[in-house]
Amino acid sequence: MSKSLKDLQPQSLWKHFGALCAIPRPSKKEDKAAEYIEEFAIAQDLNYMVDSAGNVIIRKPATSGMEDRPGVVLQAHLDMVPQKNSDVKHDFEKDPIDAYIDGDWVKAKGTTLGADNGIGVAAALAVFESKDLEHGPLEALFTIDEETGMTGANELEAGLLNGSIFINLDSEEEGELYIGCAGGLNVSSSFPYQSEPAASDVAAFELRLTGLKGGHSGLDINLGRGNANKLMNRFLWDAACKCGLRVSSINGGNMRNAIPRESFAIVTVPTAKQEELQTRISTFLTAISAELAGVESGVNFIAVPVDCPATVMSQESQRKFLNLIYAIRNGVVRMITDMPEVVETSTNLSIVKSDGKQVEIMCLLRSSVDSAKEALGNAIVATCELAGASTQLSGAYPGWKPNFDSGILKTMKKVYKKKYGKTPEVKVIHAGLECGIFGKNYPDMDYISFGPTIHHPHSPGEKVNIPSVAKFWDYLTETLKTV
């Protein structure tokens, strides 16, 4: 971590964020981050507990004279999305994040930064560390495995939290208050395929589709970015028809909640078709670059000669597989009628990966309408069934229904207007926030979410705006004083 990162304001917040960057914490591997929270609580002489799921809760008494204020829960998740560029060597379970300052932004070198939700965690710790902030009774809830399963939120038991106001610190645009979010659903499909020996008169290549931006499958799904799995399949389907291409293996995407940026396939073509393959690659790259102009700028697609694989998919299996990936829906399905700038329902074809016997296919569906989410899931199940793939729906979590009469919403709107001379935007987000899940066991809490400006989460382009973090901090502390 650059020393200058430690000198950013507010120092306490950036100090804790820097410490989190040094702690590997991909989803389901947050143990060290949880230990950091526990050690912090002990050092600050604060009451804390770890629940049966692995969530950490710490408590801080009210400032003298504010004991009668409503209790506030600050909440953030400990895990981060582990995404890196293919040319970067980084082990997310062992290596620290290499964060650096670039003008008004903090970025990471070739990997996700973890500002989602490390900034929220750091802000809560800075509040609990402060000796001069004014506030009522405080609790902080640090959840595990938000990014891959909402496990911490789902397993949080009733009765552990005492507060009546719940502030989620996991939103990503300064000046916006979020009071609702989409629910989610995982679709996991296995397509079994038959293999046969590769022909003797063929040339083998690894197709490498790289350089797409990817991004958050909720926040960025409406930006029209390329999906590496859909683009690779489009080429394979056409080349199989036109020049006898055969697929040996495929590996695209690695996170269900990230738009896939890269896809790799081992293929063969008849020896006489090598030049035609290269021509088709060049033509395809030109076509998709033109289609995605203004959205994607660094797309790259090449064929690298490799040793001939022992087997390829049988003709029948390959035909069904390529048809299936072509048919599975991807992207925005519907916008919210009353809020046409907000996505209602979407799907992200996130992972397509073969293992020699079957292809694993994963999608993450999001919708603020549960019935629409279920219908879309059923449509993908039906599509997969036609191709002979077995499919499971799992990990469903509810959306968060907006409450426009929320007391904390009214308070935070007044605080923002007083401090900055304008009213913050009130929004519903097409992403999964944990508030909707917490409402199951804590239905009487008053929920809201806000945060600083973070661009391109879930991708190596992730970056957090430094001035917005300072503004986020001032707004948070003034809110705690005012509640």
pLDDT digits (tens, 9 = 90+) for 97-134: 999 999 999 999 999 999 999 999 999 999 999 999 99
**Confidence check: pLDDT of 1 > 80:** no
Cα Rg of the chain, angstroms: 24
**CA-CA-CA-CA torsion for 110, 222, 363, 26, nearest 10 degrees?**
30
Average pLDDT over all residues of the chain:
96
Express each pLDDT in 204-215 by its tens digit: 999 999 999 999
Question: Which candidate in 30, 116, 139, 146 is catalytic?
Answer: 146
Instruction: Show me where the domains of the chain are located.
Output: 3-182+399-482, 185-397
Query: Is 35 a catalytic site residue?
Result: no
Three-state DSSP class for residue 147: coil
Distance, in Å, from the CA atom of 454 to the CA atom of 169, rounded to the nearest integer, reads: 12
Per DSSP, 127 falls in state H
Average of per-residue pLDDT across 300-328? 98
**Confidence check: pLDDT of 261 > 70:** yes
Taking each helix axis from N to C end, the angle separating 407-420 and 466-482, rounded to the nearest 10 degrees, works out to 120
Express each pLDDT in 33-80 by its tens digit: 999 999 999 999 999 999 999 999 999 999 999 999 999 999 999 999
Distance, in Å, from the CA atom of 48 to the CA atom of 55, rounded to the nearest integer, reads: 11
Q: How many residues does the chain have?
A: 483
**Confidence check: pLDDT of 373 > 60:** yes
What pLDDT score does 3 carry?
58
Taking each helix axis from N to C end, the angle separating 315-327 and 228-243, rounded to the nearest 10 degrees, works out to 140
Distance, in Å, from the CA atom of 82 to the CA atom of 26, rounded to the nearest integer, reads: 6
Note the pTM of the prediction, 2 decimals: 0.82
Residue range 185-397 forms a domain whose CATH class is: alpha beta
Q: What percent of the chain stands above pLDDT 70?
A: 99
What confidence category does residue 431 fall into, taking pLDDT thresholds of 50, 70 and 90?
confident
> Hey, CA dihedral for 212, 27, 218, 102, is it positive or negative?
negative
Would you say 380 and 195 are in contact if contact means Cβ atoms under 8 Å apart? no
Q: How many CB atoms lie within 10 A of CB 104?
A: 12
**Both tokens assigned to 294:** 């203004």
Q: At the topology level of CATH, where does 3-182+399-482 sit?
A: Aminopeptidase (3.40.630)
The answer to whether 3-182+399-482 and 185-397 have equal CATH topology is no
Nearest to 170 by CA among 453, 385, 449: 449
Question: Which candidate in 30, 79, 344, 462 is catalytic?
Answer: 79
* Cα of 2 vs its chain's centroid, Å: 25
**Both tokens assigned to 69:** 């204020």
Distance, in Å, from the CA atom of 182 to the CA atom of 34, rounded to the nearest integer, reads: 27
Nearest to 136 by CA among 49, 62, 30: 62
**Confidence check: pLDDT of 90 > 70:** yes
Express each pLDDT in 239-250 by its tens digit: 999 999 999 999
Query: Is 146 a catalytic site residue?
Result: yes
Q: What percent of the chain stands above pLDDT 90?
A: 92
